[in-house]
Structure 1
């Protein structure tokens, strides 16, 4: 079994355990990030792909004129998201599907914005997933990420690295660095970080907007 497949199966087991209680645990602490991410995505265009939709906590924050497609590697999370979309009458949600972020089945240039809310640090090969995001993005669109992203500096950076093996067991990552995303954009040459925005609580989480180079601003 490949390492990528093994890590994906580990994550599915984690999310199966978390799916029933995920909303109660994370709705409040992630609300500011979800709300701001959805607003930025809507400003980029109407056709939006959300990778790592989970139980659908972000879905209600998108304006109703948008057309939102959500994917997740966990069938248990997607089942919860579908229940939520039906219960809350979220008619702007076009589809919710089980899919691997490393191999999106969408055609090139399908979306105005691709959002990754609190998931990039958990994807086994994040650069490969970002390449897929870039492929399905229309010219002038944006990749928007929200996550726990540190710079690795000082005592906080040392603590984040030390606890990384522990928090992985609850579906989180503490050691993922902002510069990894910036480095991906620089290596490609066609994307640049337009903004790095702090969100609740007190900048612990951050949002990064990635735009095609020449269109950032």
Structure 2
């Protein structure tokens, strides 16, 4: 999937995102933010979208959100203003493959249902590892491809339409786990029907 396709797709989805993909991914967002709220610190949310998760962060957690889509960010900024959220440090337009932050900038990086929609997810994971402080956590909720059953067949059929759908239905979990500065700490299946996965990775302290 190329970056222009991502931009076009999310301009198309922005008006209805909250009631479509947003509804399907609510369990992953809740699990991710609940985990982060227990650990505190500074947070970078990669692919903040329309800001559905922002009201759920604890007030003491400073959140920076980035997204490539200005249409999505416009809705996120309205949400912040309407809810009077004081802990949102910034909402910035940015390509996740080239994060405009220094090394070791954040205690936690959240990536909720974004890794299967970005071009070059390996580069995105490398950038996430770079801006994360040693010992920090990457908290991920995402759909990963099934290896068997009806769902696997559906994903295989949908894969060629990635640019139209706006996400890779056959996205492999190994793509996320190959970054050698990060080690897996938790993995859990999430609703609906175990289609989503919750992951926690930690950055090695000697990197």
TM-score bracket, normalised by the shorter chain, equals over 0.9
Compare 118-127 and 195-204 and name the one that shifted more.
195-204
Structure with the largest fraction of helix: 1
1:130 aligns with one of 111, 116, 125:
125
Task: Determine if the alignment matches structure 1 residue 205 to structure 2 residue 196.
Answer: yes
Q: Superposed, which structure 2 residues align to 1:48-197 within 5 Å? A: 48-166=43-161, 168-182=163-177, 184-185=178-179, 188=180, 190-197=181-188
Matched positions, count: 206
Unaligned runs of 5+ in 1: none
C-alpha spacing 1:168/1:205, structure 2 compared with 1 (3 Å): farther
- Give me the whole-angstrom Cα distance separating, in 1, the residues matched to 2:39 and 2:122: 22
2:185/2:200 contact within 8 Å kept: yes
Moved over 6 A (4+): none
- Give me the whole-angstrom Cα distance separating, in 2, the residues matched to 1:63 and 1:199: 22
SS in 2 for 1:56: coil
- Structure 1 partner of 2:10: 15
Q: CA deviation at 1:168?
A: 3.9
Unaligned runs of 5+ in 2: none
- Give me the whole-angstrom Cα distance separating, in 2, the residues matched to 1:27 and 1:8: 21
SS in 2 for 1:77: helix
The TM-score, its normalising length taken from structure 2, stands at 0.92
- Give me the whole-angstrom Cα distance separating, in 1, the residues matched to 2:26 and 2:150: 27
1:43 aligns with one of 34, 38, 44:
38
